[in-house]
Amino acid sequence: DDIARNAVDAFRVNVIHARSQIRSPVTNIARTSFFHLKKANIWITAVTRQNVNAAMVFEMLHKTLALMTSYFGKVSEEAIKSNFVLIYELLDEILDFGYPQKTDSGILKTFITQQGIKTTSAEEQTKITNQVTGQIGWRREGIKYRRNELFLDVLENVNLLMNAQGKVLSAHVSGRVVMRSYLSGMPECKFGMNDKIITENKDKDNNSATDVVAKKKNAGIAIDDCTFHQCVKT
């Protein structure tokens, strides 16, 4: 541990109680870097004296904030005081020597509850260990439903910017596909996307002028900047 206790006081004086507005989410004080987020009147901060990946640190802070929200709802000063022991247990599980580990609330809720760490039998402990350390951490084994159902929701946002003359300056659609699974066991589902079909057609068709014209007329939707859940195989 290369961070001294007085680093907390330095952050409080130079950032929290600073009269000037802090615009940067990263503050360097005495060769110590403070990565901070502010949620209402709560500051969530990561401290390091090494050259670390800033994107990873902020992703970890956002994951921690989402995890606390998943456990006790609104993150406030009263909620943190009431769930101090729970937060300490969560930090002990999601961080190991400062390195992020498991941040999935579904896994953590199997053995950490708002009443403390749940006592389980040896068989249940083995299942939890396999889920946390195994390749499939997002779903536990032995799930059974009376009815096998699968729900898919496509949520889209259309963003359009036009000038006074009606000319389109920029236009794009952002969205996400949300799936709620009630399938027993560990099934494998295959879904086709529009751009995937076009890619397969390009491989099968001949490179003739007629085919090129037909493809331009039937051009599909270009999908880029995609992020997938860890359970998705692309």
> pLDDT for 29-62, tens place per residue?
888 899 999 888 888 999 988 888 999 999 999 9
Q: Two tokens at 145?
A: 């439903």
Residues 4-21 have a mean pLDDT of 81
Mean pLDDT (the chain) is: 78
Task: Give the relative orientation of helices 84-94 and 54-72 as an angle to the nearest 10 degrees.
Answer: 140
Q: For 229, which DSSP code?
A: -
Residue 84 has pLDDT above 60, yes or no: yes
In the block, residue with structure tokens 């390091």: 48
Identify whether the C-beta of residue 186 lies closer than 8 Å to the C-beta of residue 180. Answer: no
3-state SS, residue 73: coil
In which element (H, E) is residue 156 found? strand 149-162
Task: Tell me how crowded residue 81 is: count the other CB atoms within 10 A of its CB.
Answer: 9
3-state SS, residue 8: helix
Q: Within its chain, how far is the Cα of 24 from the centroid?
A: 22
* Cα–Cα distance, 41 to 44 (Å, whole number): 10
User: What pLDDT score does 187 carry?
Assistant: 84
User: What pLDDT score does 117 carry?
Assistant: 47
Identify whether the C-beta of residue 94 lies closer than 8 Å to the C-beta of residue 101. Answer: yes
Residue 108 has pLDDT above 50, yes or no: yes
| Residue that wins the pLDDT comparison between 230 and 85 | 85
Residue 119 has pLDDT above 60, yes or no: no
In angstroms, the first-to-last Cα distance of the chain is 40
User: What pLDDT score does 58 carry?
Assistant: 93
Residue 200 has pLDDT above 60, yes or no: no
User: The sheet that has 42-48: what strands, in order across it?
Assistant: 26-29, 32-39, 42-48
- In angstroms and rounded to an integer, the radius of gyration of the C-alpha atoms of the chain is 24
* Residues near 151 by beta carbon (within 8 Å), at least 6 away in sequence: 179, 180, 181, 182
* Cα–Cα distance, 220 to 196 (Å, whole number): 10
